[in-house]
Homo-oligomer: A and B are copies of this chain.
Amino acid sequence: MKYKLKCTACNKEYSPENIEYTCPGCQGILRVDYDYEKLKSTLTKDVFAENPIKGHGRYIDLLPLEKHTSLPPLDIGPTPLDDVKRLRQHLSLNNLFIKNDTTLPTGSFKDRASSVLVAKAIELGKKIITTASTGNAATALAGMCASVGLKNKIFVPQTAPKAKLAQIAMFGGDLIPIKGTYDQAVSLCREATEKFGWYNRNTGYNPYTIEGKKTAALEIWEQLGYQIPDKLFIPTGDGVILSGTYKGFYDLKQIGLIDKIPAIIPVQAQGSAAIVRALLEDSEQVSPLNDVQTVADSIAVGAPACGDFALQIVRSTKGFGVMVSDDEIVAAIKELATFTGIFAEPAAATAYAGLKKAKQEGLVAKEESIVVLITGTGLKDVPTAMKAVSIPDAIEPNLQYIST
């Protein structure tokens, strides 16, 4: 086997043949550890630069799969790392980039993990895969399953934006909306996994979601000419996008291709900020929130699956947490769109709102290299975006009604 599983909480190591989800000892999240010593001699920059494989299968040496051809046929990335010149001027940040994951096949970052998990399910011979999701992981999983014909069971809060529910139904996923929160959907999905023997893709539970998510970091490193940025702003709910992005840089560091990991900066909505609150209070552990309220549905999480691991990551990379209000999030959707042409869903715009706040508080410097991860398209939640704009009244088709 090309990797081992190591518990991020108790450090115990396991062989992947014997284990599917969390640490049997302490229930900690398992990290995939590759044979980094061997990779040091085989995986050089030139190997990356000359790799002809399209989509994120190009990173097969760092994926927990037997072969890249197990991946679904929907190409994942590389998504653009946009040179947002006008936004740079606006914010006086000369080396700002947007990692534009709105352009992935189902419109969100979650396609990365779902692609890898569907491939894993195929390699393991699983017949049914399941997930609980605020919406994006669900549409991503249903889409990837559609492309290969794998059965799927999708748990989402019934309050998920209609566009996301429509996408899941469209892909032929077995959609199970529940009268409850995302956290309740996660619990129910876990119970169903145990009872019915389905394969569970859940974030912060299945060790391979992080592996799929890390390809964003690998792309950023390649797109910056095999350099890392100074800071990464990441919209955060469960803390798994954060953990996944970190893992990409971690792998590169273990192989000796980079010598440090960028500062990882989670941005959360005020009404759903379990991780950032723990950072601000210097807590060792994340305390779950009973009540979660935010317009940013994709990061509305009370009990973050990767909460404690996220705290470790932010601290070890000398990052910091940022909280923003729903009003700031809605305004950020509009401002980001107006200065870049990138239309983000509320959760994704949260990362940009966090950058703005960090700038105002003097936490980022003009020449620092900064990447903001924009994780989902605004087309997934038009009603929320409409809070920031209005459509003018229609005119009769006559020149006299046109103002210049």
Residues of A within 8 A of B (CB): 54-55, 72-75, 80, 82-86, 100, 102-107, 142-149, 153, 158, 162-163, 165-167, 169-172, 175-180, 184-185, 187-188, 191-192, 195-196, 333-334, 337-343, 377-380, 382, 385-386, 388-399, 402, 404
Q: Are B105 and A100 in contact (CB under 8 A)?
A: yes
Starting from the known contacts A72-B341, A86-B149, A170-B343, 14 additional A-B residue pairs (CB-CB under 8 Å) come to: A74-B82, A75-B82, A80-B105, A86-B146, A102-B105, A107-B379, A143-B343, A153-B402, A165-B391, A170-B334, A178-B395, A179-B395, A188-B402, A191-B399
* Complex Cα spacing A153 to B399, Å: 13
Tell me, rounded to whole Å, the shortest Cβ–Cβ distance linking A236 to chain B.
Answer: 24
Question: How far, in whole Å, are A117 and B172 apart by their CA atoms in the complex?
Answer: 39
Cβ of A399: which chain B residues have Cβ within 8 Å of it? 188, 191-192, 195
Copies of this chain present in the complex amount to 2
Which residues of chain B have C-beta atoms less than 8 A from A340's C-beta?
Answer: 74, 146-147
Flag if A172 contacts B404 (CB, 8 Å). no
Q: A391 with B105: in contact, given A55-B80, A337-B146, A399-B188 (CB under 8 Å)?
A: no
B82 adjacent to A337 (CB under 8 Å): no
A86 CB to nearest B CB, Å = 5
Q: How far is the CB of A71 from chain B (nearest CB, A)?
A: 11
Least CB distance, A161 to chain B, in whole angstroms: 9
